[in-house]
Amino acid sequence: MADGSARVRFCSDCNNLLYPREDRVENRLLYACRRCGTQEEALDACVYRHEIAIQERGETGRLRDLIKDPTLPKASKRCPQCGNGSAVYFQSRANHKDATMTLFYVCNNEACMHQWSSDQDQEDMDDMA
C-alpha cells in the first residue's frame, strides 16, 4: 500500500490469516498461511502500524487548570481582552532548532481566560512604533 498503513491479509487458497515471515535466503518479506503453507511476497514493508489517538479535554477546562496551577509563574501583564492586570505564563514546547522562545500568557480572570503570546506583544509594540 502506498500510504504506509498495514492491512490484514488472507490466504487465497483457504481464507485463513496470512502472517509476516522473513525469507532469509532471498532476504525478503513474505506473508505465509499457517494452515496450508501458501506464501506470497509482501508488496510493502509495513506489517504493523500503531497509531495513538490523543483525546484532548475541552479548552475551557485546560485553561481553568492553568490559571489555578500554583507551580506556574504569574506576571503583571494587562489582558488585551478584558484589561485584567494578572496572567500566568509558560514557555513554548517547540523543540526544533529554528524556533524562538515564545511565552504564552493566560488571563487570570476566570470569566475571560484569554490567551496570547509574547509574539503578539511584540507585534503590538511594532504597531505602536
Binding-site members for Zn(2+) are: 11, 14, 33, 36, 79, 82, 107, 112
Report which residue type is found at 7.
Answer: R
Q: Are 88 and 116 in contact (CB under 8 A)?
A: no
Q: Where are the beta strands (DSSP E) in 1-129?
A: 18-23, 28-33, 39-41, 74-75, 87-91, 103-107, 115-117
56 C-beta neighbours (distance < 10 Å), count: 7
Q: How far apart are CA 76 and CA 68, in angstroms?
A: 16
Q: Which residues are annotated as a binding site?
A: 11, 14, 33, 36, 79, 82, 107, 112
Q: How far apart are CA 31 and CA 85, in angstroms?
A: 65
Q: Please give the biggest Cα pair distance in the chain.
A: 79
